[in-house]
């Protein structure tokens, strides 16, 4: 008698597949986006919004942002293949098919929308889906390869989590939420142009018209200074809305002065672009954590 065949899976292969799909989600970027979501929820609730609502909103935001990141990599496979910074990603190294990535990203985005609608409200779910669509269709497909303003306009996608967080609590979007949106929006260009300064040759080789590639590093950094000044103005405007108090104002003003000094210094020290890029993440985190701490401490 012939014994029935048994399929034996290779644990190492299974683990590597899981790692590949996790890598496609780019969770480090998602983590930064979620840092803007939770403080917006705290500000909207004028206190802690509740553990379940916070958890549900962050899960939905993670699914949506991860889906957008995956689809973006399917679109940018030709760019990623020629850039030293990205050529080891799953698609350029042929660890997964392009079709599988699109299906995976779309499933994550759909799940994020459904989850947020079921656990928060339709407005929050729609705003989250809008962020995904902006990132995929407006930034990745329309702007990235055609204009130096790609990341400026595309920055709206990364700013959506602040609106999602506010809407999840109030089922509306008020002025303070839009100011938080503007903070992320104006932070995005100097943040990403620093990366473009560091990898200018990569972007040039890939044919992506990032501002430092097209107009040169010095002029790009002048733009970065202008956006940083506007960004600091937005952080101060948030205080004027009454959504936050003096604790936030002190933290935002101090961090803003340091960030502006760093932006100005970069004009003479472009070799420090990656250090500046890292600090820009810290800066945004400080501003939004200050929102939450201020509301929770001062009420």
Q: What is the CATH number of the domain that holds 233?
A: 1.10.600
> Residues with Cβ < 8 Å from 118, sequence gap 6 or more?
none
Cα four-point dihedral sign 226, 227, 228, 232: positive
Question: In this structure, is residue 5 part of a structural domain?
Answer: no
In terms of DSSP H, where are the helices of 137-272?
A: 150-170, 175-198, 200-206, 211-215, 217-240, 246-266
Question: In this structure, is residue 292 part of a structural domain?
Answer: yes
Is a pLDDT exceeding 60 seen at residue 106?
yes
pLDDT band at 13 (very low <50, low <70, confident <90, very high): confident
Cα four-point dihedral sign 105, 111, 112, 113: positive
Task: Report how many domains make up the chain.
Answer: 1
Question: In this structure, is residue 8 part of a structural domain?
Answer: no
Is a pLDDT exceeding 70 seen at residue 7?
no
Question: In this structure, is residue 2 part of a structural domain?
Answer: no
What percent of the chain shows pLDDT beyond 70? 96
Is a pLDDT exceeding 90 seen at residue 15?
no
pLDDT band at 33 (very low <50, low <70, confident <90, very high): confident
Mean pLDDT on 206-222: 95
Mean pLDDT on 221-234: 97
Question: In this structure, is residue 126 part of a structural domain?
Answer: yes
Question: In this structure, is residue 7 part of a structural domain?
Answer: no
More confident residue, 5 or 273: 273
CA torsion angle 297 27 187 128 (round to 10): -80
Mean pLDDT, the chain, rounded, equals 93
Question: In this structure, is residue 193 part of a structural domain?
Answer: yes
Is a pLDDT exceeding 70 seen at residue 132?
yes
Q: Which residue do the tokens 């350029």 mark?
A: 92
pLDDT of residue 14: 74
pLDDT band at 29 (very low <50, low <70, confident <90, very high): confident
The phi-psi region of residue 96 (left if phi > 0; otherwise alpha if psi is between -120 and 50; otherwise beta) is: beta
HSE value, Cβ hemisphere, 13 Å, CA-based, for 256 = 23
Question: In this structure, is residue 11 part of a structural domain?
Answer: no
pLDDT digits (tens, 9 = 90+) for 261-290: 999 999 999 999 999 999 999 999 999 999
Structural domain including 86 reads: 19-298
Q: Are 109 and 66 in contact (CB under 8 A)?
A: no
């Amino acid at each position: 008698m012939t014994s029935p065949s048994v399929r034996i899976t290779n644990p190492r292969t299974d683990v590597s597949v899981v790692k590949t799909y996790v890598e496609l989600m780019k969770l480090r970027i998602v983590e930064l986006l979620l840092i803007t979501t939770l403080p917006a929820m705290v500000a909207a609730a004028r206190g802690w919004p509740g553990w379940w609502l916070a958890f549900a909103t962050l899960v939905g935001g993670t699914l949506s942002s991860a889906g957008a990141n995956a689809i973006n990599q399917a679109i940018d496979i030709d760019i990623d293949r020629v850039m030293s910074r990205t050529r080891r990603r799953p698609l350029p190294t042929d660890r997964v098919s392009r079709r599988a990535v699109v299906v995976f990203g779309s499933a994550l985005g759909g799940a994020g929308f459904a989850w947020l609608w079921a656990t928060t409200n339709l407005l929050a779910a729609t705003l989250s889906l809008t962020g995904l669509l902006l990132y995929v269709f407006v930034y990745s497909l329309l702007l990235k390869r055609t204009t130096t303003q790609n990341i400026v306009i595309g920055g709206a996608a990364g700013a959506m989590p602040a609106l999602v967080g506010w809407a999840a609590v109030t089922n509306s979007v008020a002025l303070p939420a839009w100011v938080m949106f503007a903070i992320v929006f104006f932070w995005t260009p100097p943040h990403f142009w620093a990366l473009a300064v560091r990898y200018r040759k990569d972007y040039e080789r890939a044919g992506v018209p990032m501002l430092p590639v097209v107009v040169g590093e010095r002029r790009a950094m002048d733009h970065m200074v202008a956006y940083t000044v506007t960004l600091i103005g937005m952080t101060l405007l948030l205080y004027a809305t009454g959504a936050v108090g003096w604790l936030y104002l002190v933290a935002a003003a101090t961090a803003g002065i340091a960030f502006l000094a760093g932006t100005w210094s970069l004009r003479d020290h472009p070799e420090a672009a990656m250090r500046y890029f890292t600090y820009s993440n810290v800066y945004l985190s400080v501003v939004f954590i200050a929102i939450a701490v201020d509301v929770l401490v001062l009420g």
